[in-house]
A and B are shown apart, each in its own frame.
Chain A
């Protein structure tokens, strides 16, 4: 197979804004946000949830639902939505099954609630675990297939089973950047002729009280959603939310042959690591390298980039360095916004959801504004979109995902004429 171009032809998204690309398009036009101020100080209000989620409406194998984790329900739903959006059918995947691939960024918060049902009856009044009882009876309360929900690749495996996908199939557990790295690796797969079509992106799991509590302890997440203000001096951290975004990526030749709509072409990808816990100028150097390498792969100058879907999610150390890096490379020219202002930080899915917003920006000309901001970094100095969405014909969009764990990834999308 020859080296070839990779285009996005289908999107399956679930976020606090809604389910499916139409809901997000509608939200973009109406200026909706999925982040609501916290009304009552209880856990159920601290996580921005996917509204009205009924997996049975989308998942083909309804019998299997009972052993699916939330991650698998989200993933299978997003895959079905992406396939429908691309106007593909399961039969198409089965026809050339070994040339279809899956690369999935898999979030797996590994909270303890799933084991509680089996464990709790074996905890005595002093709070100590009676391991003898647990081994003799307790653990048998877990369903036989319980281990599957603890394996990060179960969702990718399930999607491959549902659609008969027999090509390369792996999951990525790079933490927050997993979803966008999956997209980048899928791009390389197509580019080097290792697959014709790839389902890729990020799927987050259910966020449980103990894993959320750990994020709060580490001062990454905020309890009150309104305390998260991307790119602002007074932001306290990121707003935690549920979400998933999967894409269908195809060779340009396949897409053109079946006259598919094309959201955009992936032309640049970079993936680096920041090994030290630095900030300000020192961190901005790493972020600049990541963006410049992606531009180099795309073969374009910074002047060509029309808008930037930033990584910024409300962690001051990261947002400030990203603003500085953008300012130093691009100056005031491109529009700057962040999807996290609308959907919060969907962890593993966050980068891939930013790519969805970038696709919508390229195909509709509408770019969503920042929300809930006060004093922005480098303002004036950066071309932030404020208050309302702007209408602009863009040709190139750059998407960043910079993780608090040190991973940096940039994707560059190019507008295509057909949709």
Chain B
């Protein structure tokens, strides 16, 4: 079976553009969570998040005139492209210069474009047709046909970031837009990893991209998953006793995966290797993880099994660590069940403690963090982990400085609504 290596990484996070900026900010225990200004949120709809930064795209995009002229006009998609650009450049992979791109896959998880971004244009129409006896489809449709709506982007509503990446870089290989809610980009990385391992493709642009919108803020507030703490400095506190819900985030994390042969043939620098992928489903409830953590335990175990390693070889766990009561508890249970007594020896941290939960993008950003930890021998702290929860008794790297460790393997966990669990195991490249 072929080995799969990582040759490029790119990130856009609430800290700004670039993997180095992300990494240095995490090591400094900085806060990337702030008040949301680009959406009108009032009342008890949660109003803090890790917000996508306003980027000056020009310095990134003017280096490549083709990229600049063909990037979609939507600002969030343009920002995502800054991460794609960074990752491809680091990998030295230039699809536009290749004779064929059939063997490059695009597997980036992202949220679907939706009409919610144009809600203000549609609001008067919705009001006109929503009568006491219900919503009248026919009147709504007739109004749509006779109303001149303002400028909208040229997106087809089904377009995904994979389409844009393929169009801009002229990539003809397979596309897989994966959705497993909060675990999406881990599943995307894992499925692309399997495709390369089995020889269906040589390389893949993988990861996740997400920008929060009105739907997500009202939806996740309504379901009670978000913190009610309005203070962006202390609201997100994974594994801490006073945690009470997650904080939304946004961003984009991109990794370039390749078969070892392809990477060597190109003379690419290798940043790390993927050696394990685990995936099992709770089949329990749509909204809650299984408190016994059976499937998440099996997910971690199968990841180790695929890599043929023992628990004591794992040097670091980048946890899903959302800051909800249930996730942090069941993730702790799963780690202990899967890794037995060695679970207590492994430093664990939550990247979400500083940038919030960027849903489709979070696992990819956390994969990048794992690789940076492997490269540097440093583990970033978990911001706001101050007071120990008696039920959570593992080594959550606390709210202080980064920790130096010797590290060969790093595990990245991600779990999603619908009971979807996934783990990816990264290894130092030898």
Contacts and interface: CB of A to CB of B under 8 A. Distances in A.
Interface stretch (A147-155, A239-247, A374-382): A147-155
Interface residues of A, number: 88
Nearest to B213: A150
Give chain B's interface secondary structure class. mixed
A262 interface: no
A171 B178 contact: yes
Interface stretch (B115-123, B251-259, B321-329): B115-123
Interface string A328-347: 00000000000000000000
A21 B284 CA distance: 30
Given A123-B123, A153-B418, A166-B283, A140 B141 contact: no
Contacts of B123: 119, 123, 127-129
- Give the interface size bracket for B toward A: 35 or more
Contact of A151 (B40, B169, B418): B418
Interface in B123-165: 123-124, 126-127, 130, 135, 137-138, 140-142, 144-145, 156-160, 162-163
A150 B181 CA distance: 10
Contacts of B191: 170, 185
A44 interface: yes
A45 to B, nearest CB: 9
Nearest to B170: A275
B218 to A, nearest CB: 5
Given A140-B222, A157-B418, A175-B160, A273 B172 contact: yes
B174 to A, nearest CB: 4
B283 A173 contact: no
Contacts of A405: 156, 158-159, 163
B220 A275 contact: no
Nearest to B215: A150
B189 interface: no
Nearest to A152: B179
A213 B145 contact: yes
B163 A406 contact: yes
A156 B145 CA distance: 35
**Sorted from nearest, which 4 A-B pairs have the closest CB atoms?**
A157-B418, A127-B124, A147-B219, A135-B43
Interface of B: 40-45, 102, 106, 112, 114-116, 119-120, 122-124, 126-127, 130, 135, 137-138, 140-142, 144-145, 156-160, 162-163, 166-167, 169-181, 187, 191, 194, 198, 200, 215-216, 218-224, 279-287, 294-295, 298, 416-420
Given A43-B141, A170-B180, 13 more contacts: A111-B115, A127-B124, A131-B40, A136-B44, A157-B286, A158-B418, A160-B283, A161-B284, A170-B178, A173-B178, A185-B176, A273-B163, A405-B159
